[in-house]
Structures are given as C-alpha cells and as structure tokens.
Amino acid sequence: ENQEEVFTYAESKEEEEARLAKEAEEAAIRAQEEAAARAGTGQQIVDFACQFIGNPYVWGGTSLTNGADCSGFVMSVYAAFGVGLPHSSAAMCGVGYGVSDMQPGDIICYSGHVAIYVGNNTIVHASTPESGIKYTSPVNYKPILAIRRIF
C-alpha cells in the first residue's frame, strides 16, 4: 500500500499579503471589464434602436420596420441582443434592476409608456400613431416612474 505523504504549506505573512493584493487587483480588473462590457452593450442597444427612427407606431405591434408600440419597440430591440422582455410597459418597470443614473440603453418607464435612453437627456421610443418611432428630449417630458438596466 503506497500512501503519499501530504504536507500542508503555510504562507508567510508577506506571501499572504502578496496573494491578497493580487486577488484584489484581479477582481478590480474584472469589475472594470464588466462595466465596460455593460456600457458597450448599452451603446449597441442605442445604435441598433436608432436605426428605426421614422418607422410607424402600431398599437400591439412588435415589428421594428412595419410598426411597433412602445413596449413592442423596446422588446424587439432587446430581443435582437438575446434578451426576452414582456410586451407590456407596466411589466417592463420590473425587468433588470433599478438604477438612478441613466446610461445609454436603459429602459425609461413612464405611466403606460416605455422608452430607451440614448444619452444627452434624450430617449428613443415608439411615441404615437402620428409621430411613430422618434427621439424625445427632455427625458422627463412626463414623470419618470423607473429607470431599469438590463446589462
């Protein structure tokens, strides 16, 4: 019977400090990379959504080209990035997580309406049957109920 002897190795105080410092540095780098990925994705959402400016508003619609309502627009934009959202402006006020600082790509929730924040105090949204998919500024043209972030 061949049993290996197992020795436990105790780190010195210096080795422990060096290991902990390295782990903290790696965690900080990961956090920066994740934040950059989120910001990049938010900007990609905006860039994608803004291609559809001028297209029609259609109540109950989910087509970015042939027409969508406000939640159908947001749902279809996010679907292009593999994110499933409900086709309901009220339900969208509960998706992702709530934030207080608006970033591009965030979902802005109003009473009975949703939009996507593009930056610079501006949203893109399927507004009305008369105006279709368009920009609106300022963002708080009506009271904001919630700001939801997905990424």
Q: Which of 70, 87, 93, 109 is catalytic?
A: 70
Question: Catalytic residue at 70?
Answer: yes
Question: Catalytic residue at 87?
Answer: no
Q: Which of 50, 87, 93, 113 is catalytic?
A: 113
Question: Catalytic residue at 125?
Answer: yes
Instruction: Classify the C-alpha dihedral 86-87-91-96 as positive or negative.
Output: positive
Q: Which of 87, 93, 109, 125 is catalytic?
A: 125
Catalytic positions: 70, 113, 125
